[in-house]
Structure 1
Amino acid sequence: MLIKNISVLDVENGKVIEGLDIYIKGNLISDIGKDLHIDDSEVIDGKNKLALPGFINAHTHLGMSLLRNYADDYKLKEWLEEKIWPIEAKLDPEDIYIGTLLSMVEMIKSGTTTFCDMYYEMERVAEATIESGLRGMITRGLGDLMGPPSPEERLAGMKKLYDDYNGKGEGRLKVFPGPHAIYTSTDKFLKDTVKLAKECGNRIHIHLSETESEVKDSLRDRGMTPIAFCDSLGLLDQPTIAAHCTHITDEEIDLVKNKEFFPVYNPTSNLKLASGFTPVKKMLDGGLKVCIGTDGDSSNNNLNMVEEIHIASVVNKAVEKDATALKAIDVIKMATINGARAFGINAGEIKIGKLADITIFNLNSVNFTPRNNLISAICYSASSEDVDTVIVDGRVLMRNRKLLTLNEEEIIKKAQEKMDALLKR
């Protein structure tokens, strides 16, 4: 595949280079230059378009898309315990499969190429990932304070998921444990999960310090903040994808700055659930590689990474009372190269030898006109409707806004039918 005459965002150096050709061979970027001519290549016209690394949604719950707009305007504890958990208990594997496909339609159409999902019935999520062509970090939500099955069965199920699906989809799937949170697990279960992580993917995905009450309860029950407690268990000795970190302390930032600790900023969810304001500037200043995630459809209520980038770009300016607190290129790095580092994948940049995970924006739109600063445009004025083409692992998943691997109309129809049936159970 040869993409001709396209503008390319160099994320690492924070600049746009005009009129480049990108040659993709197999699943890798094989060459970048001007006036490339490769015989027998499928050619994509890049005129009036911008290529950037595909967005990496570092924390989400894909199967929850059926619950979009189902329970809103509640406090987090009430929202979870009285609304979400009871209806989740009625979900069956096929519900989660269809809900996941619906999420994948939304992600592809807003430029996401890689996601990290924490949920259950993850076998069905893995199958949907293979079908869609996306790159997936598959993490089963674990905890022994959430009712059956038993702790032993939960851990055995996670090990089987890893054995059955890690590396599948031509290598696009990675599988590793996802302990839900310290408040849904006993200390012993968390320690057992750490042991399992060393056998399964050597990574952990967990919610940490999302709310003030979580921090206060941890101090009361364990005598430590959540992140310090996880460190005491050895959990942070593995690369850790830590969702939210809304209430991370200065001491914790210092504690994890030399570890492979990747906080995931979820601005929309944190705002909507009134969880607080993540101290992104402090984390970046402390050397942490902050990522971005949408969280799930029932707390966001979308998986639109273009919108998430926009909100992430502006919220911290207001919180810090500093218009320079978070620059546009910083946020784009959080949504691309930082996510790639968090998951240990050879992506996040448009460079020779990197995976061909590329999102292409149509610049011939109101949102990009005039073309004063394309990096600013991605953060401050772009819309998901401007995403024209999405390539993952060298395969085109969407071209000219037409999905090529998923049947959008059929998935929307099935999703509505599934939710209608769920409400009658």
Structure 2
Amino acid sequence: MRQRLRAPIVLPCDTACSVLRDAVVDIEEDGRIGYVGPFASAPGEATVTELAGILLPGLVNAHAHTPMTVLRGMGGDLPLLRWLQDVIWPAEAKLTSDDMYAGMVLGSVEMLRAGVTTSLEMYFNLDRLAEAVLATGARAVLTGGVIEAPGFTWRKLVDHVSSMIDTRGLRFGPGDRIEIGYGPHSAYTLTPEVLVEVAEAARARDALMHIHVAEAALEDAAQREAHGSVPRLLESLGFFGGRVVAAHSIHLSDEDIAIFAANGVGVAHCPGSNAKLASGIARIRDLREAGVNVALGTDGPASNDDLDLWEDIRLAAMLARLSTLDASALVAPDVLLMATRGGAAVLGRTDIGALETGRWADVVHVSTDAPAFSSGVDVPDVQLLSNLVWAAGARQVQDVWVAGDQVVSDGETTMVDRAEAQAAAGEVTKRLLAAG
């Protein structure tokens, strides 16, 4: 029999950001949503779970390097390029597949407890990362990092991703929890010839590509000198054309934004990481007005330094308002949709990101027993959404379902033990610190 989750408020995250009152979300036996709407109109028999508070779709973290939980805090006061070259890349070269598994489990636990059900990852050892995600019950799009650096050879990295898709399929696991894609790091770490090969491999498999673009002003000076900009370089190479997510995308010209719009490139905006590393403020209002899909990401837990997408929801709105001196540049419904429906759109997915019939039942229950909701939920819709976005946050996430399976109950993960996950990741960090 179907599950029926009933709550005073359901936010389906449709394009209008509707607020449904005394409504339900029906979860069918296959883990998909069967009905969303008023309780009075709910069809058929169901096992009803009464919940106090708000139901909304699972959040989508559109750019992360989650296994880096084991590197959290290292080089925390350095700018991007020094942080990468002097601290992070040498440390990553020492990580084993078991280390990455431990980091992914802990990060997955952290995200689920914050209501993040899907993350777009760029990292290595995708087999182990998939095991980790399946162990926690989360959902992830795992793009294999492609880079030429000490300990890494781009050819082997590309071949591993291609082989994994060819043998296991583009998506697999219960509820299609795992999707595989390509993660060419950037145009400043890979040659044009490599970028072309990656793009050809991805398009041949309808796989998503996930790349850093224009994150720091100085990172791609040589590429800008030769080609005008990284978006111009990528367009000239024929890199676009499939599903492409450009992470950060801070230092863009009007022409660059037009290139993204013309080629259907999605942007993963990471305001927390961008602020911490002093990388800059992305032109989010301009991107959105040009028709570019924009989602939100945390970036890695060593550069943010957490995986709480609610913080980035607020920061995205604040920085957009501050940079434009316009308090209406991004409003509460805008950023809530960027973290849900917009995240799915950037990933090219129509099966997640909203509470709609046929999509996977990735559902978050937010408790309203908090100062943020001192006036209850019987307030105007605009005030309810404002309270959720500006005053509530991850601490109010109480329960989470992924493909209909409850993976968080009363604030704690149900499929893995949080204390054990923390201890395992902590041992990795201690070993790295001891090694110097």
Tell me the TM-score normalised to structure 2 length: 0.93
Q: 1:13 aligned to 2:21? A: no
Following superposition, the deviation at residue 162 of structure 1 comes to 2.1
The code of the aligned residue for 1:361 comes to V
Aligned to 2:295: 291
- Higher alpha-carbon deviation: 147-156 or 299-308: 147-156
The C-alpha deviation readout for 1:64-94, integer Å capped at 9, x for no partner, is: 0011112211111111111111111111111
Q: Which amino acid aligns with 1:155?
A: V
Tell me the distance in 2 between the aligned counterparts of 1:187 and 1:203: 18
In the superposition, relative to structure 1, how do residues 369 and 259 fare at CA in structure 2: closer, same or farther (>3 Å)? farther
Query: For the residues of structure 2 that align with 1:18 and 1:326, how far apart are their CA atoms?
Result: 25
Aligned-pair CA distance for 1:51: 1.0
- 1:101-143: CA deviation from partner (whole Å, max 9, x where unpaired): 1101110010001100001122111111111111110101102
Q: CA deviation at 1:164?
A: 4.3
In the alignment, which residue of structure 1 is the partner of 2:417?
Answer: 407
Q: C-alpha distance in 1, partners of 2:74/2:150? A: 23
Q: Which moved more, 1:270-279 or 1:13-22?
A: 13-22
Give distance in 1, aligned partners of 2:39 and 2:110: 33
Secondary structure, counterpart of 2:342 in structure 1: helix
Change in 2 beyond 3 A, CA 1:148/1:64: closer
Contact 1:29 1:355 in 2 (8 A): yes
Distance (Å, rounded) in 1 between the aligned partners of 2:342 and 2:431: 40
Shift of 1:249: 1.3
In the alignment, does 2:374 pair up with 1:369? yes
| 1:420 maps to amino acid | K
Instruction: Tell me what 2:401 maps to.
Output: 391
Of 96-105 and 353-362, more deviation after overlay is shown by 353-362
1:348 aligns with 2:353: yes
Q: CA deviation at 1:54?
A: 0.8
Match of 2:84 in 1: 80
Q: How does 1:37-48 map to 2 (within 5 A)?
A: 38-39=44-45, 41-47=46-52
Correspondence for 2:274 among 264, 267, 270: 270
State whether structure 2 residue 155 is matched by structure 1 residue 152.
Answer: yes
Instruction: Answer yes or no: is the 8 Å Cα contact 1:262–1:288 preserved in 2.
Output: yes
Q: Which of 388, 406, 428 matches 1:418? A: 428
The structure-2 alpha-carbon separation of the partners of 1:196 and 1:3, relative to structure 1 and needing over 3 Å to count, comes to same
1:110 to 103, 107, 114: 114
* Aligned with residue 192 of structure 2, among 182, 187, 195: 187
Matches within 5 A, 1:142-291: 142-144=146-148, 146-165=149-168, 166-170=170-174, 171-220=176-225, 222-291=226-295
Distance, in Å, in 2 between the alignment partners of 1:350 and 1:155 is 35
Q: Please, which runs of 5 or more residues in structure 2 have no aligned partner?
A: none
Alignment check: 8 A CA contact 1:263 1:290 kept: yes
TM norm structure 1: 0.95
What count of residue pairs does the alignment treat as equivalent? 421
One-letter identity of the residue aligned with 2:373: F
Q: 207-216 or 113-122: which moved more?
A: 207-216
Aligned to 1:96: 100
Matched-pair contact (CA < 8 Å) for 2:182–2:198 = yes
CA deviations 1:198-232 (Å, max 9, x no partner) are 23343210000111113433222x32201111111
CA distance in 2, matches of 1:37, 1:30: 10
CA distance in 1, matches of 2:390, 2:107: 24
Separation of aligned partners in 2, 1:42 and 1:147? 55
* 1:137-193 residue CA offsets vs partner (Å, 9 max, x unmatched): 01011023x245444322211212323443221222111111000011011111111
One-letter code of the match for 1:141? G
Q: How many angstroms apart in 2 are the aligned matches of 1:245 and 1:136?
A: 22
- Check the 8 A contact 2:4/2:26 in 1, yes or no: yes
Counterpart pick for 1:24 among 24, 27, 42: 27
Of 50, 72, 78, 1:68 maps to 72
> Could you tell me which residue of structure 2 aligns to residue 54 of structure 1?
58
**1:176–1:200 Cα contact (<8 Å) kept:** no
- Structure-to-structure mapping, 1:305-384, within 5 angstroms: 305-345=309-349, 346-371=351-376, 372=379, 373-384=383-394
Mapped partners of 1:370, 1:150: distance in 2:
57
Distance 2:274 2:233 in 1: 22
Cα offset for 1:56?
A: 0.1
Specify the alignment match of 1:2 in structure 2: 4
Taking the aligned partners of 1:139 and 1:172, their CA distance within structure 2 comes to 14
Conservation of the 8 A alpha-carbon contact between 1:231 and 1:237: no
Structure 1 pair 204/56, CA: closer, same or farther in 2 (3 Å)? same
2:10–2:23 CA contact under 8 A, matched in 1: yes
CA positional deviation for 1:63: 0.8
Quote the Cα distance in structure 2 between the aligned partners of 1:56 and 1:288. Answer: 17
Q: Give 1:414 deviation, angstroms.
A: 1.2
Q: Secondary structure at the match of 1:163?
A: helix
CA distance in 2, matches of 1:296, 1:5: 34
**Structure 1 SS opposite 2:6:** strand
Cα RMSD between the aligned structures? Answer: 1.6
Name the amino acid aligned to 1:110.
A
Q: CA deviation at 1:250?
A: 0.8
Inter-CA distance 34–317: structure 2 relative to 1 (3 Å threshold)? same
Q: Please, which moves more after superposition, 324-333 or 200-209? A: 200-209
Give the conservation status (yes or no) of the 8 Å contact 1:60–1:116.
yes
- Does the 8 Å CA contact 2:260/2:266 hold for their aligned counterparts? no
Structure 1 residue 38, shift from structure 2 partner: 4.8
